[in-house]
Amino acid sequence: MKYASLKSSAVYVPEQELPNSVLQQRFPDDPEFVEKMAAKSGIQTRWRAAANMATSDLAAKAGEKAIAAAGLKPQDISVVIVGTDSPDYITPSTSVITAHKIGATNAGTFDVGCACSSFPTAFSIASGLMATNESYRYILVIGAYLMSRLADESDLMSFFYGDGAGAVVLEAKDKPGFVSSALLADGSYAKDWGIYAGGTVEPANNDAIAAGRTQVKMLNKYPPSVNEDGWPKLVHDVCERGKFSIGDVDLFIFTQVRKRTIEKVMQKLEIPWEKTHCVMEKWGYTGSACIPMALHDALEEKKAKQGDLVVLIGSGVGYNQAGVAFYL
């Protein structure tokens, strides 16, 4: 049996910065909004992609960097998986476009679309593919996010959205690597936050566009328990399934949407703060990309080393949640 092992990681951050000081000017009716949200979320700035860039461009740039860091050629990649809820199109998939832009001419492709839990879900799927297909030696897994393009910039929620992408190359090896995964979901929250026109329920039309239903909207706030209880449950689930304890984990990476939530979850799990890593301060909330971006940044800062046990916990609208555990 082969195990998916992390061979390399990379990020792509666009060049145009949008700090809180500039964003504050967009909300004159609530001059304290940005300051209050910064205190709760930890977000100080975010970055915007150029107007001619699509999600596949962000994904391709991160993917190319990860392939180069692995010392490979694009043709060495067997599968390209892109996790995103801001795709280029409804169809074709963003992954097939990304693979073409990278030059991964020998790769099969597919998208994973479970919002901000897409990356740990994709990591788990890639691990299963490697365990059951000996021909898959290298799989490129990318999380990419361009939700700002699908948002109303006057909407208060646009405070969060940062553009970016994170990527990893997974290599099939004879020892872990991948240890365990867990998934959670509750579709009763599906009407609370999303993009509600442009699919089969309501195809995009002039009325939908005029009403803003082709843009991302938060219609109801999720209760704090969704993450404050859901994330600890996922941690316990991956520990139980992987037959290790919480104390064995060297690094936890959580969805980077709200720093206070991460603080509460770490306290609930009785884990020292030094065992997690946050990047929302410098990159904003990059949704489907935030977990691989935070993972790469933690590795760059030497917060984990070869042989360490890492747990990734993702949470997104729908709601969908996912956790994955692996050894570096």
Q: Quick check: 28 pLDDT over 90?
A: no
Residues 54, 146: contact at Cβ < 8 Å? yes
Residue of 238, 201, 244 lying closest to 313 (CA atoms): 238
| Cα–Cα distance measured from residue 204 to residue 306, given in angstroms and rounded to the nearest whole number | 48
Beta bridge partners of 167: 10, 142
Range 180-190+221-327 has CATH code 3.30.70.100: no
Same fold, 3-175 and 180-190+221-327: yes
Per-residue pLDDT tens for 132-166?
999 999 999 999 999 999 999 888 888 999 999 99
Q: Quick check: 32 pLDDT over 90?
A: no
| Cα–Cα distance measured from residue 50 to residue 52, given in angstroms and rounded to the nearest whole number | 5
pTM value is 0.96
pLDDT of res. 10: 98
Indicate the range of 46-60, 126-140, 201-215, 272-286 predicted with least confidence.
Answer: 201-215
| Cα–Cα distance measured from residue 294 to residue 277, given in angstroms and rounded to the nearest whole number | 7
- What is the Cβ-side half-sphere exposure of residue 175, based on CA atoms within 13 angstroms? 3
Share of the chain above pLDDT 90, in %: 91
Indicate the range of 150-154, 296-300, 318-322 predicted with least confidence.
Answer: 150-154
For residue 314, CA distances in Å to 23, 69, 92, 154, 208 come to 27, 25, 25, 27, 30
Q: Quick check: 30 pLDDT over 90?
A: no
Q: What's the CATH number of domain 3-175, 3.40.190.170, 3.40.47.10, 3.30.2310.20, 3.20.20.70?
A: 3.40.47.10
290 phi and psi angles, rounded to 5 deg = -65, -35
Domain boundaries, the chain: 3-175, 180-190+221-327
pLDDT of res. 202: 94
